[in-house]
Amino acid sequence: MSQEPNQETNGELQPQALRATSQLIAHARRELGLVIAGQGEVIEEVLIAVLCQGHALLEGVPGIAKTLIVKALGRLLGLEFQRVQATPDLMPADILGTSILRTGSDSFTFHKGPVFTDLLLVDEINRMPPRTQAALLECMEERQVTSDGVRRTLPAWFTVFATQNPVDFEGTYPLPEAQLDRFLLKIRVAYPSQAEELQILERHHAGSGAGLLEDASITPIPEGLLAAARAEVRAIRIEPELYTYILSLARHTREWPTLLLGASPRAALSLMLVAQAAAAFDGRDYLVPDDVKRAVQPVLRHRVILKPEAELEGFDADRVLADVIAAVPVPRQ
């Protein structure tokens, strides 16, 4: 597999094709680090979701900065941000918008809902009733809203970041497999380390009381940088052997003895896109097997279903996917 760099300086690869991506990543890590203590992998994965034009499901217990990360990301990228708090009585019109009769006339005007934004945070999405989940599904898949027979296009940067609590299931509506498959990534947000949690306490004590996001004054990225970085990620070179490797990983999940449902063709495509972004984050304009391995768990953990007996034996999706990675031969480089 050929891996010629675009430029070599002091023995290090300097691919000129990734200038915008490198600038974006460096800027994001610096600015978001002013607000978020740790969570480096989470920050990387939410950026990957935007660069790949995909949606992300963030799973973690309350109080570990899931909402703050998405709000800070919106300020960093200079994108509009809206938040929806999901409840069992939330109706489709509450998120899509509704037509209202104009005062003194017999005509209606459409009032846009919160989905007409760049970054949409849906808190506790599994508390949303099935009818509203279905309405959101069209937004995520078609990037449009259909109301009163009229199709209204959503903004070009429209991205859904949904959160769910993994320990509280009372009064929830589990997301169906069809909707889970629309999420490019499932991101697991863990507790911070002791040192990171200490930093959180110190920052809040030293703050003005207005909140970390306001105190930090995040500097947005230059205009046009996000679009340029997205184009660079899509142009990451993929050798034929790696197409085969990606497909082998996806197809192995369909035959794996502890899995009831394996990865779909859409999942294999998502795996390729996220692996391209992983290569860009590593400073390369070409794909290697490690990029694909890095993408497997966040891309597939919500798309596979374990057999009941496997769950009883203590298996989870990440453990099974690690076994799949180990079983698939890696192409020679």
Residue at a domain's end among 217, 234, 251 = 234
One domain for residues 112 and 88: yes
For residue 139, being part of any structural domain is answered with yes
One domain for residues 240 and 220: no
For residue 212, being part of any structural domain is answered with yes
DSSP assignment of 115-160 equals TSSSEEEEETGGGS-HHHHHHHHHHHHHSEEEETTEEEEPPTT-EE
For residue 3, being part of any structural domain is answered with no
68's CB contacts (< 8 A; 6+ apart) are 35, 36, 212, 213
pLDDT tens column, 169-219? 666 788 888 788 899 999 999 898 899 899 889 888 887 766 777 777 888
Query: Whole-prediction pTM value?
Result: 0.88
pLDDT tens column, 284-329? 999 999 999 999 999 999 999 999 998 888 899 999 999 999 999 9
One domain for residues 164 and 185: yes
Instruction: List % helix, strand, coil for the chain (3-state, nearest 5).
Output: 45, 15, 35
The domain total for the chain is 2
One domain for residues 46 and 81: yes
For residue 2, being part of any structural domain is answered with no
Low-confidence winner among 8-22, 140-154, 273-287 (lowest mean pLDDT): 8-22
pLDDT tens column, 114-172? 999 999 999 999 899 999 998 898 899 899 998 777 889 999 999 999 998 877 666 67
For residue 256, being part of any structural domain is answered with yes
For residue 143, being part of any structural domain is answered with yes
pLDDT tens column, 217-239? 888 999 999 999 999 999 999 99
One domain for residues 212 and 240: no
One domain for residues 211 and 319: no
One domain for residues 218 and 275: no
One domain for residues 139 and 283: no
Range of the domain at 70: 12-234
CATH number at residue 194: 3.40.50.300
One domain for residues 188 and 255: no
Over 70: is that where the pLDDT of 69 sits?
yes
